[in-house]
Structure formats: structure tokens, C-alpha cells
Amino acid sequence: MAPAASTLPQKRKSDADGTPDDSVVQILPLGAGQEVGRSCIIVRYCGKTVMLDCGVHPGFFGIASLPFFDEVDLSEVDAMLVTHFHLDHCAAVPYVTGHTSFRGRVLMTHPTKAIVHTLLKDFVKVSKGGSGEGLYSERDLDAAMERTEVIDFHQTVDLDGIRVTAYRAGHVLGAAMFMVEVGGMRLLYTGDYSRIPDRHMPAADLPAQRPHIVVVESTYGVSRHLPREEREQRFVQRIHTAVARGGRVLLPVVALGRAQELLLILEEYWERHPELHGVPIYQASGLARRAISVYKAYIEMMNEDIKRAFTVANPFEFKHISHLKSAAHFDDSGMSRELFEAWCEDARNCVVIADFAVQGTLARDILGNPSEVMTRNGVKVPLRMQVDAISFSAHADFPQTSEFLDALQPPHVVLVHGEATEMGRLKKALEQHAAALNIPRALYMPKVTQPVLIEHRTERTAKAVGRLGEKAPAQGAAVRGLLVQSRGGARTLMHHDDLPRFTKLHPGRVVQRQAMPLHRPFSEVRLALEMMFEGTQGAGDLGRVDAAGGSPTKGGQILRIGDAVTLTYQPVEAASGASSGHAILEWCGGSDADMVADAVVAVVLQAAGQPPGLPAIEVQRHQALKAGDLEAVAAAELGIITALLNAQFGPARLDADQGLVFVEVNGQHVVINPKSGKVQCADAELRGRVERALERMHMALQPCDVSDI
């Protein structure tokens, strides 16, 4: 069975504000949910938010054409990824960057950015209409392009914890699919894609990494495209027939993408048929004319056929196609509509719908074979011209989508960018296909603003290298080493000694030192250490320093306690001639070494005699206990703890008014509250050692209960 998920919000999966917790991926269509247009998908996971595409709906105008941005807090969106330059995927970008709280990063490929700027300049003029007010201005567009970053195919960019990799989508020049990885969760967003190469574009890539979730277009549902050769043959024959009977042919197609594909087909056909050389072909889009220079510049992003042709001449230098000079006065849809109304009553003429026809458009209406159409002036006129649909749409059909998902094997598939009926058919067909092959897969087809919540438990993998990789551990056995993650996200497990070999990192060592005064001969201290710790051995001699800091004399010693602690004894000549000195402990910081060092300190303190002044304080405490003077008892215990801290950690100062003891150890300031047992110190390991020592001191000061003896 496929992992559990839902298309409705679940309170147990979310925080109080509706944001999913770190184990749930939320996919929220702000557009393109059971519709074609205004593609905009929000993905949330592990505190990160990504916006996939940001387009408008071709069937609506103004604010009504925008995605439902008010459903989210756009200030929380970390990144916007734009797949390609078609209006239904990019036209709302300047609105979001210039008129909302969005502050994230914007990414698209090089050719997409180049064409988007040109395309949206026209869109700004067209969207103003007669009112003079559009969704945004050219200044908003320029500002949006200024902050837009570019990404290459197969490049991975780290956006503060969001890893984004771009793959070829094959749809139009520069179109990308995006693999988004957050916290080990991988989601592939196809945008518009095609797995079949055409005249100028290669097929979409098949990512090497398996995604956990695929958000895939479903434009053509369960339909199957005709083979490319058959489509082209039918297309040119239809045009040739219409021209031969004296008719005109209208090809209303988007100015970028399919227009270039059809121009390449017509150019080749006209070249092979001299009888057609006197028949003009006009390209009536000023935008397409301006974009040709971009196509000429990015030949290396097209397929091998175009690259081979480029070695002879640039395929986009057309001989048989002219640009209609008056096109500068019309937008693309306006020109097509004007020509259609002028030609629709003549039966010799023909219109070929070569791309996907969105609901609510004239192209969709005339495919229903009406006997008459309504002009823009509100007049009904007869429709006598021939209407044909020959799809050159570079969207995946059912076989492409099914094979693509079988190759990727994602456990979750979210369908977007499709009309509800076709999307439903595709969902059912893919579910039946997965069940027949016993593939665990869950499919979802959310409406606009309807979230999909998918539980995800991250599995992390790491490559063992160096001495850890020499021998495979037994199944289920523990492996101990350093886990290193590169900026690209690759994780490597290695022995700490191999760190400089496989990385640019070098291990560091934190050396701890602690000095304690000794009040008895060092031989007694050494004997106690040898009895307590097996393997205690001498490691050399040191000089002897007099109390005034004079020249060294013999008598100093170095002991090694196991592999963790080195103890250095420095004798000091006292004026009285009594035996005294300092024991200096040194070890590399770490949990194991710190534990051994604390035990050594306890043994040294016990064997080295009481610190000066401590017996007198103990007498005061005893007398206060007999008298029942609790304040005096507390004051004496503060003094005892201060003396013990001084002996173990170095100079300790008691502030009786505050009830605090201040100690400085190797430059680290420690503030101790003996009454509450709280210790303040920036060094967590040192703080832990002082807390443990303080706990032992409190235990030593507790009175014994002898009532049961």
C-alpha cells in the first residue's frame, strides 16, 4: 500500500496556525489545480517554503487572472522557481516581487530570463488595455529581473537549506524541471515537459535521484499524441491543399515555443517544394521576431539536429518566411483574432489549432464546429473556413507520463495543470496501471487552494570512506566515526584520523589544564594514584622552583594516568622547609577524558591534605551546629565549599553578600551559587565538571543519620 496522505488539512499534522509540522510535506496549488493556467504551487516542509511557478490565467484579466496569493503569507516564501517563459507560468512574477510582501530569491534558466523580460514588456502594454492600469509597470518588471538569479541545467544551488537542481524539461527553449530537496525530502516539479524530442528541443531529462514526490502536469490527460512524422505530414498537406485552392491558412499559436517549431517545419517544406516559393509565409508576431535573436544565441541548449544544422547555417535564419511589418501595432492574440474574423467566412481558407486550447478562449470554441461565431464587435458571422486540430503541443501525453513515473518510481504523485475531467481520467488510469504492476503509489488531484498533506520520514545515507570503508560492518552493527556533509549535501562517514585526507577540514584539540596545591609529600599522592588507576607511570623529571621564582632544581615529576591525563608535579621551596608544591593536570577535553580527570582530582585532593585554613572553618561549623546557629552553619559551609573549589579549580573568591563564588579556570569565568547548585559558564564541559564537584561537596556536608544503627 502507498503511504498515507490526505488532500484535506489535518489538525494533528499541523501547528495551531495551520502550518504543517516537520514530518509533513504540504503542497498547496494557488493556481493550476484542476485548471490550465496561473501555475503556482506552494511547497512547505521543515520550516522552508518554495513557490513553483508564478503565472496568470489566459482566460481572465487583471487581478482575476492571478493565483490566489492571499491564501499564504508571501513573506514566508524562501524561493520562487520559474520553469519557463509562457505567461501562465511567469507573468505574475513582477506582481509578486513588486506588490506583495515576498522577499525570497527568484531562479530561472538563462534563456528563460532573457525571453521573460522581452515577453513581459509586451504583456505590460497589453494588460493596461484602455484603462491605462495594469497589474504592474515596466519599472516593476525591471526590478524583478534585477533580482532574478540564473541556474544552469544539472546545476545544484543551495538556498539556505533548500537544494535546487534544474533539469531539462524539453517543452520550450530554457524550460526546466526542478528537483527540490529539503531535509532529505526530494520533490520533482515538472512544469510543462515533453519526453519526445521535436524539431528543435531535446527530450526532458530523467533525473538520476528518485524523488519522494512528483508534481506533474496533466494537460492532455489520457490522450495520446500522433507520431511526430505523421503530425508533420498531415500538417503540411492541410496547408498545401488550402494554398492550392487559393485559400489562406491561419496558425494561431503562442509566439514563443510552438511558433518556432512550426516555422522550422514550414521552412523545410517550402525549400523542398519550388512550386510554393511564390506563396508568402508571414510571421505576424513582433514578440516572436524579437525573440529570434535569443533562439539564435542558445543553439547549444537545443537538440542534436539543430546543432548539426548550425554547422552549416543558423536554422533560424529563414529564407521563405517574412515578418509582417504591421505586427508591431498588435499583440499576438489581437492579430490572430483580427485575421480570423477577416477570413472566417471564406470556405477556401483554413485555421489549424496546433497547440492546447484553453477553456474560455476562441480556439476552444471553434473546435466545437459552430456554424457561426461572435466577433469582437458583438456581430454574429458565419463560420465557413475549415477548422482543424493538429497538436504540436510539447506537453507530455499519457504514455510519456506513465513511462516517466514508472522510471522514477515516486511513492506520491500530485497532478496539476489540467482540466478536471481529463485530470480525473489520468488519475484513474495511473492508479490502475500502478495496481497492475503492484507499484505502491498514491495519486492526488487537488483543486485550487486545496492542500495535499503527505507524511515523510527522512532516510539519510552516508558513504563510508578510508579505514571505515575497508571492511563492511555486520548487519545491524554500530559504526562509529565522523559524519561530514558537503555544501552539495553529500554525506561521508570516516574515521577522525582520515578527516584531512578526504576533506579540507583539520581536527582541533581543546587542552584542559588545572592546578592544585599539595600539602603533603608527592610520594603519598603518587601512591594513591597508582593504587586507584592501573597503568599510572612516570614520564620524566622536571626542575624544582623556589618560592621566589628562582632557578629550577631537581624534584619535579611527570605522571601519565592511562591515555587520558598527564599530571605534572612542581615542588616549591617553602620558607619553613615544609614539603609543598603544585599538581598540574592536563588532558584533551572530551566526555571520557573529563571523567578520568575529575576522578584524578578527587584522589589528589584526598591524598594531598586539607587546604590551608580549612580545619579552622570546620571547627567553626561544628561549634555552630552544636549551638543551633543555622546562619553561622550556612556561612561556614560557604567557606568550606570556597576552600574546596579553590583547591580543585584554582583561586576562588567568595561574595558573602550575594552568596556566590567566582572562579577563573584557563580564562573561563565561572559563577557558582552553592546554595542552589547552579553554575554559570560559557564552556559547557567545564560547567558540567564544576556541577559534579559541587554535588560531591554537598554530599560530604550532609549530616549522617545514625538513628537506625
What are the tens digits of pLDDT across the range 9-64? Answer: 333 344 445 555 668 999 999 999 999 999 999 999 999 999 999 999 988 888 99
Pairwise CA distance, residues 560 & 582, whole Å? 16
Provide the pLDDT for residue 180. 97
Pairwise CA distance, residues 376 & 341, whole Å? 9
Cell numbers at residue 460, please?
A: 539519510
Q: May I ask the CATH architecture of the domain 228-280+312-389?
A: 3-Layer(aba) Sandwich (3.40)
Pairwise CA distance, residues 531 & 535, whole Å? 10
Q: pTM for the complete prediction?
A: 0.63
Q: How far is CA 549 from CA 74, 243, 546, 570, 574, in A?
A: 70, 112, 5, 12, 11
- The domains of the chain are located at 5-224+394-455, 228-280+312-389, 460-472+479-508, 511-607, 614-701
Cell numbers at residue 633, please?
A: 552553619
User: Does the active-site annotation cover 395?
Assistant: yes
Pairwise CA distance, residues 117 & 333, whole Å? 19
**Could you say which residues of the chain have pLDDT below 50?**
1-16, 327-333, 543-553, 705-709
Dihedral pair phi/psi, residue 40, rounded to 5°? -165, 110
Pairwise CA distance, residues 365 & 132, whole Å? 29
Provide the pLDDT for residue 329. 36
Pairwise CA distance, residues 199 & 264, whole Å? 7
DSSP state of 641: H
C-beta of residue 20 within 8 angstroms of C-beta of residue 453: yes
Q: How far is CA 198 from CA 204, 228, 261, 492, in A?
A: 11, 7, 8, 41
**Alpha helix positions (H), 503-590:** 522-532
pLDDT digits (tens, 9 = 90+) for 177-215: 999 999 889 999 999 999 998 888 899 999 999 999 999
C-beta of residue 291 within 8 angstroms of C-beta of residue 115: yes
Pairwise CA distance, residues 428 & 222, whole Å? 10
The 3-state DSSP class for residue 627 equals: helix
C-beta of residue 614 within 8 angstroms of C-beta of residue 636: no
C-beta of residue 420 within 8 angstroms of C-beta of residue 404: no
C-beta of residue 412 within 8 angstroms of C-beta of residue 430: no
Residues forming a β-bridge with 321: 281
Q: Are the folds of 5-224+394-455 and 228-280+312-389 the same?
A: no
**Cβ atoms within 10 A of the Cβ of 659, count?**
15
Provide the pLDDT for residue 677. 84
**Cβ atoms within 10 A of the Cβ of 666, count?**
14
Pairwise CA distance, residues 583 & 576, whole Å? 20
Dihedral pair phi/psi, residue 399, rounded to 5°? -60, -40
Q: May I ask the CATH architecture of the domain 511-607?
A: 2-Layer Sandwich (3.30)
Cα–Cα nearest to 123, from 53, 71, 61: 61
Give the residue carrying C-alpha cell 632557578.
551
Q: Which of 171, 200, 395, 456 is catalytic?
A: 395
Cell numbers at residue 26, please?
A: 504540504
Pairwise CA distance, residues 67 & 69, whole Å? 6
Cell numbers at residue 532, please?
A: 586507584
428 Cβ contact list (under 8 Å, min separation 6): none
Class of domain 5-224+394-455: alpha beta
Cα–Cα nearest to 419, from 37, 88, 86, 29: 37
In Å, the largest CA–CA distance within the chain is 129
Q: Within 13 Å of residue 520, how many CA atoms lie on the same side as its CB?
A: 14
The alpha carbon of 460 is separated from its chain's Cα centroid by a whole number of angstroms, namely 15
Provide the pLDDT for residue 546. 42
Cell numbers at residue 381, please?
A: 458571422
